[in-house]
Chains A and B, each alone.
Chain A
Amino acid sequence: MPQNQARWDSALPSQKILFVSGKGGVGKSLIAAGIARQQAHAGRRVLLVEIGDNSYYRDFFGLERLDYQPQATELGFDLAMWSGETSLKDYVLYYLKIERVFRLFFENKVMRALINVAPGLNEISILGKITSGVRKIGPPLPYDLVVVDCYATGHALALFQAPRGILEAIGIGPMGTQSREIESVLKDPKVCGYAVVTLLEEMPVAETLEFRAELRRILGVEPAVIANKVMPVPVERAELETLTAADPGGLGEFAKYLSAIEDRQKQYLGKLSREFEAVGQVPLVFSNDPKELVAATGEALRQV
């Protein structure tokens, strides 16, 4: 595999928020956890956040519960799940202060409909929460880095688009001010990083390139790319080929399979290397144990 000089994560040590996205199923959640673990090992206080209404990590790590309040994990980072509703509640409670008004707010039927339908309100609430530490607003978030296991590319772009969308619809008032602030945080490469995870296959790579183009357009930022599930072929190519010739019906068959995988990987890695300055790589890890997987992923992404 060609090795680039630059590193995919050269900006990460100073950044405070990292969004991890990519096509569905490419390994976003695992890689986000791996990065969180690796950064925690490097001595930073790290919070890993999943967003939305349904938890993946709860089943993955076999936790009893996972909610809005960060909880410690054995892997060195804290973990939380933030939905649009809980983020909005947090914000409203912080501002309205009074619990009674707050209740009234969320238990009211009309209000709920409004909140559910209001375009962009969910998105802006989640982004508001994620950026709240940096903006020094709301309850304190005592972390050096927040790693966000973000939505797949399509919904992630809608998320990043939301502040602009709201700004263009309503520039003034508190919503406008919040949106403007959030957008400027998202656009600041010193504060926010974006990683897009891909497999070395046609569709994920195509989606990666589209995602980058859209990110440039929406926020003017550059994502880093991480190629995941790279087959860790144990021997040189020539050796594979010799083995294929020497043992056709047996292990040579497996060697042939590995060569074919390697060819495809090379093709797409080449494509990515032409497009990105650096391509992070994570091998396919032959384990079904979550902690082992996270550890191995983090290890692969460790800084030199």
Chain B
Amino acid sequence: MVICAGSGGVGKTTIAAALGVRAAGLGLRTLVLTVDPAKRLATALGLDLEQQQAATTPVAVPLSFGTLSAAVINSRLIFDQFIREHGGGSEAVARVMRNRLYQQLSTTLAGSQEFTALEHLLQARESGQYDLIVLDTPPTKHAVDFLTAPQRISSLFQDAVTRWFMNPSERQGGLIANLVSRGTRAAIKSLESLTGAQFIEELFDFFAGIRSVQNVLRSRSEKALQLLQSETTNFLVVTSFDNAKLIEAKYLQNELRRLDYRLRAVVINRAFPLGIPTGVSSPPENVDHLVYEKVLAFYQKFNAYYAYRYSLYQEFSHGLGKDVKTVRIPEYQRDIYGLADLEALAGVLGEGGMA
């Protein structure tokens, strides 16, 4: 398993797809699970985005060599399915689905996207159909959010917490249950005075409904955590190229270590532009010297800028340690379009020792 982590827009989806192409080319039965692929990339992978709104089944990618499947992770769909499947009685399920807060805001529910991505990964893994699964990760507000999702989800649905949200008839005097400590009671009272009783009611209702799936939610999160920590799961951090982003990548690396995950590689995307001559000779006779000088000065500025960045990179990769590979991917002059582009990118990753 390979998990592509990193902050938004750095090229996770593209790199994940290219890795999939690479692995399939090496003869592995590979699945790529993507999040929000660019239209062209989706088309290249043979994914019909409309159709993926309604199904979670992977499609076969028409590679010249190897077996690659691809699917889009559809958070809303998987979450709904999950609740239906594990909700036990239909009453509890109906209750969550009916809950107005859930309806309005279920996609923004803390951790729900991370949860569904992991759930999709688990399901694919349990199917036993693949030698390798490449997981692209959803856009979190911060890259580290994805890593801690299983722990956060389990802790939210601890019984000690949800036990509290019993069905309303068990709660006496409106919101206040006997079981609850005085402290909690007072805290809830103040929350109620700030938000109004209706909000609290909806929230309780939501919790009461979700309680029916709490055990499954937790056990799946724990399974996901085990999977993330297993020997066969490799993390790959994709990052862009500037000081703050590199500091962020370092931070991610530390978090990965702390959480007992395995960081195998850092991919620095768009590290340098492609198609720049390495040097220039003296100007030819027939050229406008003023123009030549202007372009030359610009060329030098341009190169100095990327040379400085290269030194940043060297410092960074030294600090990473020997067991972590680093690869720099150039900035292409146009978007990554078709399978041919992906194959080329896969080649660059392969040369960098990524596969």
Interface assignment of B322: CB less than 8 Å from any CB of chain A: no
Q: Which of A111, A174, A288 contacts B242 (CB 8 A)?
A: A288
Q: Which of A79-123 touch B at CB < 8 Å?
A: 91-92, 95-96, 101, 104-105, 108-111, 113-114, 116-120, 122-123
A-B contacts, CB under 8 A, total? 225
| Contact partners of A105 in chain B: CB under 8 A | 187, 190-191
Which chain A positions have C-beta within 8 A of B287? Answer: 242-243, 246-247
Task: Assess whether A170 is in contact with B10, with CB atoms less than 8 Å apart.
Answer: no
Binary CB contact string for chain B from 118 to 157 against chain A (1 if under 8 A, 0 otherwise): 0000000000000000000001011010000000100010
Give Cα A118–Cα B104 distance, bound, in whole angstroms: 12
| A158 to B: closest C-beta gap in Å | 4
The count of residues in chain A whose C-beta lies closer than 8 Å to any C-beta of chain B is: 76
User: B81-106, CB under 8 A of A: which get 1 and which 0?
Assistant: 00000000000000000001111111
User: Which residues on A sit within 8 Å (CB–CB) of B26?
Assistant: none
* Binding site secondary structure of chain A: helix
Contact at A235–B294, with CB atoms within 8 Å?
A: yes
Closest A residue, CB atoms, query B103: A169
Q: Tell me which residues across on chain A come within 8 A of B203, comparing CB atoms.
A: 114, 118
- Report the interface size class on chain B: 35 or more
Task: Judge whether A272 is part of the interface by a CB distance below 8 angstroms.
Answer: no
Instruction: Give CA–CA (A19, B38) in the complex, Å.
Output: 25
Shortest CB distance A103–B (Å)? 10
A235 & B295 in contact (Cβ 8 Å cutoff): yes
Q: Let me know if A75 is at the binding interface, CB within 8 A.
A: no
A23 engages B8 (CB within 8 Å): yes
Neighbouring B residues of A11 by C-beta, 8 Å:
none
Q: Are A254 and B295 in contact (CB under 8 A)?
A: yes
List A residues at the B interface (Cβ < 8 Å).
Answer: 23-26, 52-54, 56, 59-60, 91-92, 95-96, 101, 104-105, 108-111, 113-114, 116-120, 122-123, 151-152, 154-155, 158, 161-162, 165-166, 168-170, 172-176, 201-204, 206, 233-235, 239-240, 242-243, 246-247, 249-251, 253-258, 260-261, 264, 286-288
Query: 18 more A-B contacts (CB under 8 A) besides A169-B103, A175-B195, A254-B299?
Result: A25-B9, A105-B187, A105-B191, A109-B160, A111-B188, A114-B207, A117-B156, A119-B105, A161-B108, A170-B198, A170-B199, A174-B194, A202-B335, A234-B295, A242-B287, A247-B284, A254-B280, A257-B273
